[in-house]
C-alpha cells in the first residue's frame, strides 16, 4: 500500500479526472473527497497545486470556478501507479460518477467570465457547451463590473431558457 497519503490523494484526483470526458471543477473534486473525509481542504489544495506544478493536470480559472483536466503526463502517471488505489476507492469513485455524472457534466458545461475590455467597458463572456462542443457563445459589453458579474450569475441560472429563446427566434 502507499506510505505517503499525499500520493494516494494525487492518484485519486488523477483517477477522477481520467474517469470523465469533461473537466471537473475544484469544488466537485473537493465535494467527493471531503464528504468521505479522505483529507482536509488545505491538504487537497496542496495536492491540486502539486499536480498542476508537475503538469499532471491543468487548472483553468474562469469567474469563480477552477476547471481541472488531466494531461497526457497525468494519464501516463495513472497508468503506472493507478494500481496503488484500492479497488474499494475506485468502486466508490465509479459509483459516484454513475449517480452524478449528468449533474456534474451540466455544472461544467455552463461557463461565464467577465473582464475589462480595452475600451474601458466590461465584457461578460457566456458559454454553453455539450460534450465540449460550444452550443452558444455570447459576449455582452456593459458599463460596470457589477452588471457584468450579475449577467454571469444569471447565465448560470437561466442559460437553458436563454438558449431555448434564441433557438425559437432564430430558426
The per-residue pLDDT for range 65-92, each reduced to its tens digit, is 788 999 999 999 999 999 999 999 999 9
Mean pLDDT of 117-123: 92
Mean pLDDT of 1-8: 74
Q: Which set of grid coordinates corresponds to residue 110?
A: 455552463
* Nearest residue to 23 via CA among 55, 59, 47: 59
- For the chain, list the domains and their CATH numbers: 5-108 (1.10.10.10), 109-170 (no CATH)
b/e burial code for range 138-165 (CB count within 10 A of at least 16 → b): eebebeeeeebbebbeebeeebeebeee
Listing from the earlier edge strand, what are the strands of the sheet with 110-116? 110-116, 122-130, 133-142
**Contact status, residue 19 vs residue 93, Cβ threshold 8 Å:** yes
pLDDT at 63 over 70: no
pLDDT at 1 over 60: no
Q: Which set of grid coordinates corresponds to residue 122?
A: 466590461
Amino acid at each position: 500500500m502507499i506510505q505517503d497519503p499525499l500520493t494516494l490523494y494525487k492518484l485519486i484526483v488523477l483517477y477522477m479526472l481520467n474517469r470523465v470526458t469533461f473537466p471537473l471543477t475544484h469544488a466537485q473534486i473537493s465535494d467527493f473527497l471531503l464528504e468521505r473525509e479522505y483529507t482536509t481542504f488545505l491538504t487537497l489544495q496542496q495536492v491540486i497545486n502539486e499536480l498542476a506544478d508537475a503538469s499532471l493536470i491543468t487548472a483553468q480559472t474562469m469567474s469563480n470556478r477552477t476547471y481541472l483536466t488531466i494531461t497526457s503526463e497525468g494519464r501516463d502517471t495513472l497508468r503506472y501507479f493507478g494500481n496503488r488505489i484500492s479497488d474499494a476507492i475506485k468502486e466508490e469513485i465509479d459509483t459516484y460518477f454513475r449517480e452524478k455524472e449528468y449533474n456534474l457534466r451540466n455544472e461544467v458545461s455552463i461557463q461565464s467570465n467577465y473582464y475589462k475590455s480595452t475600451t474601458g467597458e466590461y465584457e461578460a463572456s457566456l458559454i454553453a457547451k455539450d460534450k465540449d462542443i460550444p452550443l452558444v457563445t455570447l459576449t455582452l459589453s456593459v458599463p460596470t463590473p457589477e452588471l457584468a458579474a450579475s449577467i454571469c450569475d444569471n447565465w448560470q441560472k437561466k442559460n437553458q431558457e436563454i438558449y431555448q429563446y434564441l433557438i425559437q427566434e432564430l430558426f
